[in-house]
Amino acid sequence: MSQATSGRQRKKSTLPEISWTVQLTWSLIEEMTKRENAKVLFGKEDGENSSGDTKAAVHKRIAKAIIPELWNINPSTAGDRVKGKIESLRKKYSQFAKRLKTTGEGIGNGDDGDGDGDGANAAGTVVFDFYVPPSGPNEETDTRAVNIWQDIEQQFPFFPSLHRLYASRPNINPPAVTTGVGPYGRRVTYMQPPDDQIDPALSDIPPTQPPASRAFGTDIANDILTPDVSQAPPSTPFRTPTPAASQSSARGPRAPVFSTAAIENAKKAISIVPKKRSFEESIIEIAGHVLFLSALLFPPLTKLYRNNIKAMDARAREDRDVRKQELLLQEFKAGIWSRGEYRRELKKLKREVTPEPVPSEPSASPREPSPEWQVNENGSLIDEDEIRDDN
């Protein structure tokens, strides 16, 4: 058992590197285009039965066909080498294919094809200037696309064959890419030509009528008069107008998709939470009710009730002013207020805290001293005439 294991390790370690010559690469692409291999590697066509083979099995099968001597040494490693070469070809194809997915590019342009130069309409839909079919350029292909295609083919001769494999495969080249909702709304980029740019005669699909309108879940299609389609003029395929390069560069930022009505509805849904009262304020309110009831039951307590209410109001106002000053100090420490602003706000707060002087009621003038009365021994007043006679 140990000898067999060491033998496999020896075979795996002695497997030489593969020199991918042009002829060997063409042999690899030829094996990739075979239907039994292509439907596993790139997905099956419509109506085609799926295969029970795995991609690893297909890689080994291709390795057996193009590098049988290495496959005899180690099938798994040979299959991994084939897998790595296929992935390398796909990445290189994607780099060159980006040049066909931009607008305004010519031969020698340094655009990296990241799609920044493409045109997007107001709805956020991006449609490229041209789409090269999987079979390559034809008589209807834009001249710019033909020039770019020829330049790519000179640099990468395998591009046309790989384009036939990758161009229409949704797992490699999706029909459309939709970005998430952001400040400029949703953005849909058509990597393959949209349906409205395909001739119905080529697709062999009868034109369909628009779906019936629905309002709140009720089908109102029967309430709408259907026009006579036979008398209608023949419709022409709609093509999305693409702005020129100068217009695309001068286009300003998109407006936000949020409508004014939606913003107003959101504002209405916001409810103002009432300020929570402190424990002291609740106690003061309860005490005020108690004193009020006491004053009603015992009228002599009315004056006491008023004095207590004034005292409690003064205390509550004093506590509130202290909290305001503490909050202002915390804001100053946090850097919200500068030193000068803090002093001005503090003076303003102190002016609000200091009560206005209440004018005092005028006091009564002092009474004149009472006259001295002369009283005799029995406590009766002495007449003034008697006092004169005595004198």
Statement to judge: residues 169 and 252 lie in one domain:
yes
Statement to judge: residues 124 and 253 lie in one domain:
yes
Is residue 53 situated within a structural domain? yes
Is residue 133 situated within a structural domain? yes
Q: How far, rounded to the nearest angstrom, does the alpha carbon of residue 94 sit from its chain's CA centroid?
A: 29
Structure tokens at 303: 């004056």
Statement to judge: residues 180 and 260 lie in one domain:
yes
Question: 215: part of which helix (H) or strand (E)?
Answer: strand 214-215
Residue type, 324: K
Statement to judge: residues 307 and 251 lie in one domain:
no
Q: Domain of 300?
A: 279-353
Is residue 369 situated within a structural domain? no
Is residue 359 situated within a structural domain? no
What pTM value is reported for the model?
Answer: 0.42
Q: What's the domain count of the chain?
A: 3
Statement to judge: residues 254 and 314 lie in one domain:
no
Statement to judge: residues 251 and 304 lie in one domain:
no
Strand partners of residue 286: none
- Per-10-residue mean pLDDT of the chain, 391 residues long, equals 48 71 93 88 76 88 92 91 92 85 48 45 58 79 84 91 81 55 56 54 48 41 43 47 46 55 70 68 78 72 74 82 87 86 85 58 59 66 61 54
φ and ψ at 178, to 5 degrees?
-110, 125
Statement to judge: residues 14 and 133 lie in one domain:
no
Q: What local confidence, expressed as pLDDT, does residue 170 receive? A: 65
Statement to judge: residues 129 and 251 lie in one domain:
yes
Statement to judge: residues 186 and 260 lie in one domain:
yes
Statement to judge: residues 137 and 248 lie in one domain:
yes
Is residue 360 situated within a structural domain? no
204-235 burial, b at 16+ Cβ within 10 Å, e below that, comes to eeeeeeeeeeeeeeeeeeeeeeeeeeeeeeee
φ and ψ at 241, to 5 degrees?
-65, 135
Statement to judge: residues 256 and 141 lie in one domain:
yes
Is residue 319 situated within a structural domain? yes
Give the separation between CA 391 and CA 389, rounded to whole angstroms. Answer: 5
End-to-end CA distance of the chain: 162
Instruction: Quick: pLDDT tens for 185-235.
Output: 555 555 556 655 555 444 444 545 544 444 334 343 444 344 444 444 454
Is residue 257 situated within a structural domain? yes
Is 214 strand, coil or helix? Answer: strand
DSSP string, 320-350: HHHHHHHHHHHHHHTTSS-HHHHHHHHHHHH
Statement to judge: residues 248 and 283 lie in one domain:
no
For 74-230, where are the alpha helices, taking DSSP H only? Answer: 75-97, 143-155, 159-166, 200-203
Q: What local confidence, expressed as pLDDT, does residue 202 receive? A: 45
Is residue 201 situated within a structural domain? yes
Structure tokens at 82: 């084939």
